[in-house]
A and B are shown apart, each in its own frame.
Chain A
Amino acid sequence: MIEVVNLTKRYPGFTAVRDISFEVAKGEIVGFLGPNGAGKSTTMRILSGYLPPTSGTVRIAGFDVFEQSIQARSHIGYLPENTPMYHDMRVHEYLRYRAALKGVESSQIKERVGDVLEMCDLLEKERAIIGTLSKGQRQRVGLADAMVHDPDLLILDEPTIGLDPNQIRQVRELIKNLANRRTVLVSTHILPEVEIMCSRVIVIHKGRIRASDTADNLLKQHRSAGEVRLELDGQPENAKEILAAIKGVKDVSEKKLDSGALYQLRTDADSEPISAVLQAARDNHWQVQAIERKKPTLEDVFVDLTQGD
């Protein structure tokens, strides 16, 4: 659905996006992550046909976004950052205008607008003037606008910003429900969201793609994945060697504490060494103070990928 090849966007004095390539297949929900200023919005603006790339090509549903812009755009529902909209219009009026603009048949506009109003929980606010809505409500009008022409691809730039936890959950459900029929590219800072919602994650930093994989794989590959911390009373002999011999343990570091010792075991991500470690402790009569298996969060992965150069 999206094919990006060697995309670069340069502004006078700095390069926002450097030679990135990725693909998004039909039906995928892809999370687009990166710190502020990483190039997320720039990339999304290029995908949506708003900005022309400096070099490289972008195809949406087979259409080049620059050469065949109109056809490409008619496949996209785009929610820009900060959801700009006309504050002097009423919600239903705005959505009808947008539907007509995006080529929805006149006879179906009313029905489509009704559908998206319901989907985005806006039926009560149908007649409200957009300028009087709260930020969260406006965000939902923006989502409704993005979906009103039933596009194959949704590009959502920070759709959950300004929403309260309940509304975030609603939007998440909404996006998940779209999954089968539509492709979604969504940027957000709320990482737990991404884990729940997205089938794949693309991490971008300083204009480059740092990682593109499922959240599970990213977590497994993270350096702290499968780390086990073991704290023992006293300082038993040979503990380090015994622990290192356990199956699946890659290496062990030892740290003397005042009243005992701390061992950090690096293990294979998919091994389950806890019971073997406890068995070793019983066999050798160690007094276990604490044992903990560290689970990296997507936040750890994110911080790791996007710090430094």
Chain B
Amino acid sequence: MRTFITLLSREIKSFLHSPIAYVVLFFFLIASGFNFYSGLSFLNQSPSEVTVVEAAFNTVLFWFPFVLIFPLITMRTYADEFRMGTIETLATAPVSDWQIVFSKFFGALAFYILLWAPSFLYFIAFKQITGKEAALAAGAYGGSYLLLVLLGAFYVSLGCLASALTNEQINAAIMTFVAIFGFFVTGLLGFILSSPSQAVRDVIAYFSAVEHMADFSRGIIDSRPVIWYLSMTSLVLFINLQVFQYRKWRA
């Protein structure tokens, strides 16, 4: 456990040492702030049944920066280690490969959560200023942020896997973007296909991050997406371990 903590803190520090982290943080704050603002102005235009939380998490402005941040967060995790050769010092220390894979994953996930943390202040500020709750129930906050973490875990694991496949950060970033975009668009097929059969719709429902968020931000915490994201994350991490060992052993 101590070894894992050591690895994890090194991962988190390496984010904080890199200038790109602050660039991402800066633009993400602008994007999410603007998104919150536009959600509120949408509510101001006409009577509406949605809450502030729903308005903030279900816009194009929310999803657009959302899918863009993962390549930036995860691209350097493995690619840099392979390119610099530090993977050799890392993997010959008395640490298991699982510990390495988990530390990289949780390190990136921690940074992702750090990106989202300030957004909660918006809702607090909203309540302070207007005296009204931003959501109908506490479950809406919980659901929204739970889904953010679950989705984030899955997308971060995809990014780590892409990074483990290459020596070049830019390749990792492009692969991550394509993979996440692929999953995201698959989830949108329900809106595009004219009349899908029930079976197809059921399958698409699993991929549909947008619909999941629509439910969760209303406080409806469905167990199916939870299990789907957790099991997909585990699967991707398992493949990640295999890829990592394969590349290391082939060196």
Contacts and interface: CB of A to CB of B under 8 A. Distances in A.
Given A101-B7, A103-B3, A84 B96 contact: no
Nearest to A73: B94
Given A51-B251, A88-B18, A100 B6 contact: yes
B94 A85 contact: no
B17 A70 contact: no
Contact of B85 (A84, A98, A101, A103): A84
Interface stretch (A42-50, A172-180, A273-281, A290-298): A42-50
Interface residues of B, number: 24
Interface in A35-76: 45, 48-52, 70-71, 73-74, 76
Contacts of B85: 80, 82, 84
Contacts of A263: none
A101 B95 contact: yes
Interface string A76-97: 1010101011111100000001
A73 B86 contact: no
Given A97-B10, A101-B7, A70 B94 contact: yes
A248 to B, nearest CB: 51
A205 interface: no
A25 B93 CA distance: 23
Contacts of A102: 93-94
Contact of B251 (A50, A86, A88): A50
Contact of A50 (B92, B95, B96): B92
Contacts of A48: 92
A158 interface: no
A63 to B, nearest CB: 11
Contact of A76 (B2, B92, B96, B250): B92
B86 A84 contact: yes
Contacts of B87: 84
A126 interface: no
Contact of A84 (B3, B10, B88, B93): B88
B242 interface: no
Chain A CB within 10 Å, residue with most, of B14, B84, B89: B89
A80 B251 CA distance: 13
A88 B21 CA distance: 14
A145 interface: yes
A235 B228 CA distance: 97
A78 B95 CA distance: 14
Interface in B182-232: none
A146 to B, nearest CB: 9
Contacts of A76: 92
A60 to B, nearest CB: 11
Contacts of A80: 85, 88-89, 92
Contacts of B3: 100-101, 103
A86 B14 contact: yes
B248 interface: yes
Interface in A91-137: 97-98, 100-103
B249 interface: yes
A49 to B, nearest CB: 6
Given A50-B92, A78-B92, A97-B6, 14 more contacts: A50-B248, A52-B249, A70-B95, A73-B93, A73-B94, A76-B92, A80-B88, A84-B86, A85-B84, A88-B18, A100-B3, A101-B7, A101-B94, A102-B93
Sorted nearest first, the 7 A-B pairs with minimum C-beta distance are: A84-B85, A74-B94, A73-B94, A100-B6, A84-B86, A88-B17, A48-B92
Interface of B: 2-3, 6-7, 10, 14, 17-18, 84-89, 91-96, 248-251
30 contacts: A48-B92, A49-B91, A49-B92, A50-B91, A50-B248, A51-B249, A51-B251, A52-B249, A70-B96, A73-B92, A73-B94, A82-B85, A84-B84, A84-B85, A84-B86, A84-B87, A84-B88, A84-B89, A85-B86, A86-B86, A88-B14, A88-B17, A88-B18, A100-B3, A101-B3, A101-B93, A101-B94, A101-B95, A102-B93, A145-B89
Interface of A: 11, 45, 48-52, 70-71, 73-74, 76, 78, 80, 82, 84-89, 97-98, 100-103, 145
